[in-house]
Amino acid sequence: MNNKILKFFYAVMLLPFCYSIFVTLIYVIKNTQLSNKLVQFFLLGAGVYFVIHVLLYKPIKLYVIGHELMHMISTYICGGKVKKVKIGSSYGSVNVNKINTFIALSPYFVPLYTIIIIFLWFALKYIGKVNLSTEILSFFVGFTIMFHIMLTIYAIYIGQQDFKISGWLFSIVVIFIINCLILILLFMLMFSPKITISQIKDFFILNTKNTYILCYKKLTNLSIYIKTFFTKNVSKSF
């Protein structure tokens, strides 16, 4: 069977999983205390970028630089080589000798600028001995996460050659699931919600189980309806 067709079926099978992981993310967010200063600064940073993006300016070139850099990093991680890099004001390309799903999709689920911000904050605070508050870190993490989310949505909207590697639906499903997992991990590490990892795991497993059971029941009912419909119509024709 064609690899893309197989991945399309995988993607369809993972659609209920997408719903479950999203509901789990909402569950984690709901159990995060808004009175926490770090949460407030995170939301402030996210809100500031959102306003800039929607009303003022989309930093496309900055996104393109990070996007192509992530392609390069993932290529090296997978043992490939980068032959040529081209970056324009609104587009970019990387010519590599190896391609797979991770290399093609990593820019869409790795928030590179957030990782850079966290690394710089720790380097300045603990190596450079600069007095930096965790509120500043939280603000810029929120800012860069929203940057990542908004421009990933924008990139998907305008269409990307990267999605042709594994197919459009499979690519979107992978991007969605991993981004949700990263946000769950981020909230757990930074904001210490009122719930434990064990509670999140139990909630996720139960929700996933119930979602797949519901989908199975709906599909079973649909198949019965279709079978009954065709049986009646065939009998009438005779």
Per-residue pLDDT tens for 24-40? 999 999 998 888 899 99
Burial of 206 (0-12, 13-18, 19+ CB in 10 A): exposed
Output the pTM of the full model.
Answer: 0.88
145-167 pLDDT, tens digit per residue, is 999 999 999 988 887 888 888 88
| Residue 123 and residue 216 in one domain | no
Amino acid at 39: V
Count of other CB atoms within 10 angstroms of residue 228: 10
Phi, psi of 18 (to 5 degrees): -60, -45
Mean pLDDT of 67-74: 93
| Residue 111 and residue 157 in one domain | yes
Residue 88 pLDDT: 78
| Residue 72 and residue 100 in one domain | yes
| Residue 204 and residue 103 in one domain | no
Determine the structural domain holding residue 232 and report its residue range.
198-238
User: Which residue in this structure is represented by tokens 């009122």?
Assistant: 194
- As a whole number, the mean pLDDT across the chain is 89
- Count of domains observed in the chain: 2
Residue 229 pLDDT: 66
Cβ-based neighbours of 136, under 8 Å, separated by 6 or more? 41, 121
Among candidate residues 32, 29, 18, the one with its CA nearest the CA of residue 207: 18
| Residue 122 and residue 27 in one domain | yes
Among candidate residues 90, 44, 47, 51, the one with its CA nearest the CA of residue 67: 90
Residue 128 three-state SS = coil
| Residue 166 and residue 224 in one domain | no
186-224 pLDDT, tens digit per residue, is 999 888 778 888 999 999 999 999 999 999 998 888 888
User: Which residue in this structure is represented by tokens 């009438």?
Assistant: 236
